[in-house]
């Protein structure tokens, strides 16, 4: 297992959340914020695992979602 000595990846992951908050002024509800976080987390995980995001989204809308690997190999 490879461990990074800095938290730059964590900061990059939070950047889109803060940018969304800055542009829109926040979320209208807790449920909306939770849904946004769930979708962003899914997309971020796909990218980190080298899975094509567009193909994965096509599969989601076709009713056959791709589940990323949750444990490092």
Between CA 55 and CA 22 the distance in angstroms is: 29
CA trace torsion 8, 32, 25, 20 (10° rounding): 30
Q: State the total domains in the chain.
A: 1
Supply the range of the domain harboring residue 41. 13-61
Q: Tens of pLDDT along 5-48?
A: 666 777 777 777 777 777 777 778 888 888 888 888 888 888 88
For residue 1, being part of any structural domain is answered with no
Q: Flag whether pLDDT at 1 surpasses 60.
A: no
Sign of CA dihedral 61, 22, 31, 34: positive
Please indicate whether residue 19 or residue 63 has the higher confidence score (pLDDT): 63
For residue 33, being part of any structural domain is answered with yes
Q: Tens of pLDDT along 37-61?
A: 888 888 888 888 888 999 999 999 9
For residue 35, being part of any structural domain is answered with yes
Nearest to 14 by CA among 47, 39, 37: 37
């Amino acid at each position: 297992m490879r461990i990074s000595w800095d938290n730059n990846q964590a900061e990059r992951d939070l950047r889109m959340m803060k940018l969304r908050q800055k542009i829109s002024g926040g979320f209208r509800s807790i449920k909306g914020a939770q849904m946004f976080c769930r979708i962003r987390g899914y997309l971020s995980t796909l990218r980190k695992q080298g899975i094509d995001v567009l193909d994965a989204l096509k599969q989601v809308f076709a009713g056959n979602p791709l589940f990323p690997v949750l444990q490092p190999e």
